[in-house]
Structure 1
Amino acid sequence: MMQNNDLTRKVAFITGGVKRLGAAIARHLHASGMNLVLHYRHSETAAHALQAELHNQRSESVLLLQADLLHTAKLTRMMQQIIDHYGRLDVLVNNASSFYPTPLGEVEEPEWEDLLGTNLKAPFFLSQAAAPHLSATQGCIINLVDIHAERPLKLHPVYSIAKAGLVMLTKSLARELGPKVRVNAIAPGAILWPTHEMDEVTKQRIISSIPLKCHGEPTAIAKTVSFLVYDAEYITGQVITVDGGRTLSQ
């Protein structure tokens, strides 16, 4: 079992790591002593702001990597950049995700390619590229899935399909990469509201269906990531649902 002071030289790579859940995970792992590699696609301002914030706490502890993860041919080179910079990789958090409605009858191929690409294809090829480095450190992979991987979200069939695939990817890689690499997933419920407009009536309807009667905080996900990193040495191939009990009533 890793202790917090064992994390001071360890390295975590978080995709989509500069905003929302990714930033919360980054702050939490950084506070535990880990060095970070934070990927972003378009959020350059947020990326440099978070890097500056964390460097104020511990200098030279955050490497930023800008990339479109759909360009899978570049992912191996990205991994090499991490190894060249830090010399190791201990944790891969596949957090980057596209999310938007795709009503049946209106879905175009670019939407399919984007949603399957960011939520399933990129995590697979990133994991494949990271596997040798994670094996060397007996590290782990953590995938951010969704409660809608099992209970499809209305008007979001492509997204739900992609996240269901990511659950199977988690289980498959746990078998393929054991015993040296553990692979698990986290399925958030109502943690952060979508970036597009959601009216208060809809928010309250969702909250009323949750046994704990509240939405969760990003720190709940970050703490679960930390648990899987250094307190879950005998857990692999599992999905931990963090939803306040919401799936019990659907």
Structure 2
Amino acid sequence: MKDKVTFITGSAKRIGAHTAKYLHSLGSNIVIHFDKSKSEAEALSQQLNKIRPNSTALVQGSLSDINAVEAIGQQAIDAFGRLDVLINNASSFYPTPIGSISTDDWHSLVGSNMQGPLFLSQYCANTLALNNGVIINMVDIHAARPLKNHTLYCMAKSALVTMTQSLAIELAPKIRVNGVAPGAILWPETQLKEEDKQQILEQIPAQRLGQMQDIAHAIGFLVEATYVTGQIIAVDGGRSLSSNTKG
């Protein structure tokens, strides 16, 4: 990863920020993207730049706004003059029961989880190809096993899985494209009842939440695994093997 440039969308906090720290520790320069989490993004940038000066850059913008995607991509490319790794991590997640779905929900959930990654990957492809680059998409185990009341989110993530596999064929051999499908790593920022949390844990053979480092390690592996493309790695403690994944 030394001297490479990694662009991580939605990397101001949570898994995106942790992944940024991990790949930075391996030597990569990091382009930190954020939409509304400006203070968190600036704090992360300052933290990493103290470790290695001038090793981060900040890019702001909404990936749900299709008219903003190309500008976001260009800023990321311009930050260090090259791009080696694109991690499509930014994601909206919240329930949309049938009967309540609005066009705003469509723009937020489809925009961040499928539309943004597609058009950002398309825009960055030529630059990534110059360096035998890598695209890693953050998908979800619920792309294959839908989560109740989350139809729109699951649809978008399912499309992202198909996009990952299709682009792996179309962009080969210059660019590898893979996906990581997290299970229960962090509880959603929306409130969950304790009984709901317990129900989820009972579905996991490992019987515990995963750690953000588990996702970062999987991403690090995919960046370096030069003969792996078109694959989705489930990092879920075995939850996707369970016959009961309602929660």
Bin of the TM-score, shorter chain as denominator length: over 0.9
Verify the 8 A CA contact 2:6 2:31 in the aligned structure 1. Answer: yes
Answering whether residue 157 of structure 2 is matched by residue 142 of structure 1, we say: no
For the residue of structure 1 that corresponds to 2:179, the secondary structure is: strand
Answering whether residue 93 of structure 2 is matched by residue 112 of structure 1, we say: no
Q: What's the offset of the Cα at 1:76?
A: 2.6
Q: What's the offset of the Cα at 1:41?
A: 0.3
In the TM superposition, what whole-angstrom CA distance separates every residue of 1:98-139 from its partner, at most 9, and x where no partner exists? 000000111112212221111000000000011001100001
TM-score with structure 1 length normalisation?
0.95
Counterpart in 2 of 1:233? 226
1:85 to 79, 88, 91: 79
| Corresponding residue pairs, total | 243
Q: Which runs of 5+ in 1 are unaligned?
A: 1-6
Answering whether residue 237 of structure 2 is matched by residue 244 of structure 1, we say: yes
Q: What's the offset of the Cα at 1:58?
A: 0.6
Q: Which runs of 5+ in 2 are unaligned?
A: none
Runs of 4+ aligned structure 1 residues displaced above 4 Å come to none
Change (3 A) 1:103 1:61: same
Counterpart in 2 of 1:103? 97
TM-score with structure 2 length normalisation?
0.96
In the TM superposition, what whole-angstrom CA distance separates every residue of 1:161-212 from its partner, at most 9, and x where no partner exists? 0000000010111011000000000000000100011122211111122111
Answering whether residue 44 of structure 2 is matched by residue 59 of structure 1, we say: no
Q: What's the offset of the Cα at 1:152?
A: 0.2
Over the aligned positions, Cα root-mean-square deviation in angstroms equals 1.0
Q: What's the offset of the Cα at 1:68?
A: 1.0
For the residue of structure 2 that corresponds to 1:38, the secondary structure is: strand
Where do residues 88-237 of structure 1 align in structure 2 (5 Å cutoff)? 88-230=82-224, 232-237=225-230
In the TM superposition, what whole-angstrom CA distance separates every residue of 1:57-83 from its partner, at most 9, and x where no partner exists? 111111011101123333333333233
Verify the 8 A CA contact 2:88 2:135 in the aligned structure 1. Answer: yes
In the TM superposition, what whole-angstrom CA distance separates every residue of 1:26-73 from its partner, at most 9, and x where no partner exists? 010000000000100000110111111111111111101110112333
